[in-house]
Amino acid sequence: MRIGVNLYPSVGGSGYLATRLGQHLAEFGHIVHFITYQRPFSLMWQQTKGVYVDLVDRFDYPLFAAVGPPYTMALTSKMVKVINDSELDLIHSHYAIPHAMAAYMTREITGTPYVVTLHGSDVHTLGQDPAYRPVVKHTVERANSVTAVSEFLKRAAQEDLGIERDIHVIPNFIDVDSFRRIPGVRLTVESGCVALRDEEEALEISPDEKILLHASNFRGVKRVVQLVEVMREVINQHPHTRLVIAGDGPTRIEVERKIEELDLCKNIHLLGVKSNMQEIMCSADAFVLNSTLEGMPLVLLEAMSCGLPVITTPAGGIPELVRKGKDGAVTEGFEKEEMIRTIIEVVEDEKLRRQYATSARKRVEESFSVEKIVPMYEKAFDEALGK
């Protein structure tokens, strides 16, 4: 099968999943063309046979100065070209805005069927905005096949967006052979709040200290600022605890200011965007996600696959992944005090951490592996092609 994939190529859940899925589909014998505006982040350091990147043509023109170039039209034109040049069988659109619309227009021109995968904010946040909702609803309903990464998102699409068609739930997945525990990894961080400028400033964390890890795109729903406030109380009771934060995004400056305000520069470390997340995860004692809204967070899958105990909230599709008290610690609600208590419980109980880590790894192996999930996408593609 020859598959065109449109996606956001930057760091983030939907783009990361789309890129990894495309690579695994190529390993399964398919031909995959990523059609987007820059080379996907996850492909920067590797090549996969059968995977191609077709960059969308964009140009500036005085007429577009106020609104920006019409990317959806350019994307559609590029997809039409790739379909004609490479004889694609279908288009797979990750994240509905604006990819479902571009795929819909492409099908109008070429007759090529398209599949839409809903990832999260394209349903529960941006998809609800009146500026996008009518187009999202129309182009998702008219797709040849639709998937969502969690039952939570499926319900949101049907109840909140009013989607009146079948939606297949295909959860996110992880390569359990690649993402696994690496023994003996030690973490080196900067000795203060600012980014590391000189290797001589590096500080190796003592094995006696407990390392909590958080990774996200620093959007408001991730509540990273509140997590810093939580850590102030945790560290008051357990001074030899550190929080390491990977990623970047809109609330980064607020996070930095809160760290300084609460005098936590020696206990909280901002790593920025990193490509070696497996090593970072394997150096931590637990992973913390404090979100109020999630589809099916890939970062939890990565942590669980690395045998890292997770501490999280019941946001969105998380309970479909982490079974409370078995695969990890899941709070009842979203209150700061409960998160403080939960983190302290996990920090203090080594046996509990081992129990969560073992169960989490088994959970991912049995239900969220490449071998389990990729064939589900192949089935959705067959449906789109009328097979």
Is residue 282 domain-shared with residue 136, that is, in the same domain?
A: no
Do 73 and 144 share a domain, yes or no? Answer: yes
Is residue 136 within 8 Å of 100, Cβ to Cβ?
yes
Instruction: Compute the distance between CA of residue 111 and CA of residue 109 in angstroms, rounded to an integer.
Output: 6
In a shared domain, residues 134 and 102: yes
Residues 210 and 141 in one domain: no
Q: Is the pTM for the entire model greater than 0.95?
A: no
pLDDT computed for residue 351 by the predictor: 96
Q: What is the mean pLDDT of residues 123-134?
A: 91
* Residue 107 is assigned to a structural domain of this protein: yes
Residues in the chain: 387
Listed range (272-276, 291-295, 338-342) with the worst mean pLDDT: 272-276
44-60 confidence digits (pLDDT tens):
656 778 999 999 988 77
CB atoms within 10 A of CB 126: 16
Higher pLDDT, 366 or 125: 366
Tens digit of pLDDT for each residue in 184-222? 777 766 544 444 334 444 455 566 789 999 999 899 999
CATH number at residue 39: 3.40.50.2000
* 166/220 same-domain check: no
Q: Are residues 349 and 379 in the same domain?
A: no
Is 234 in the same domain as 349? yes
In a domain? residue 363: yes
**Cβ neighbours of 317 (radius 10 Å):** 27
Q: What domain range is 37 assigned to?
A: 2-173+369-384
Q: Are residues 8 and 148 in the same domain?
A: yes
Read off the pLDDT of each residue in 77-81 and give the average, rounded to a whole number: 97
| High-pLDDT (> 90) share of the chain, % | 77
- In angstroms, what CA-CA distances link 237 with 61, 228, 240? 59, 15, 9
- Asked whether residue 121 is assigned to any structural domain, the reply reads yes
Tell me, yes or no, whether 297 and 373 share the same domain.
Answer: no
Domain assignment present for residue 178? The answer is no
Give the pLDDT mean for 134-163.
Answer: 95
Residue 32 has pLDDT above 90, yes or no: yes
Which pLDDT score, from 0 to 100, does residue 273 have? 82
Asked if pLDDT for residue 242 goes beyond 70, the answer is yes
Q: Tell whether 183 is covered by a domain.
A: no
Does residue 199 share a domain with residue 127? Answer: no
18: in domain:
yes
Statement to judge: residues 267 and 244 lie in one domain: yes
Q: What is the mean pLDDT of residues 25-32?
A: 96
Residue 45 or residue 273, greater confidence: 273
Tell me, yes or no, whether 180 lies in a domain: no
Say if strands 286-289 and 268-272 run parallel, antiparallel, or are unpaired. Answer: unpaired
84 and 198 both lie in a single domain = no
In the chain, the number of structural domains is 2
Q: What is the mean pLDDT of residues 337-364?
A: 96
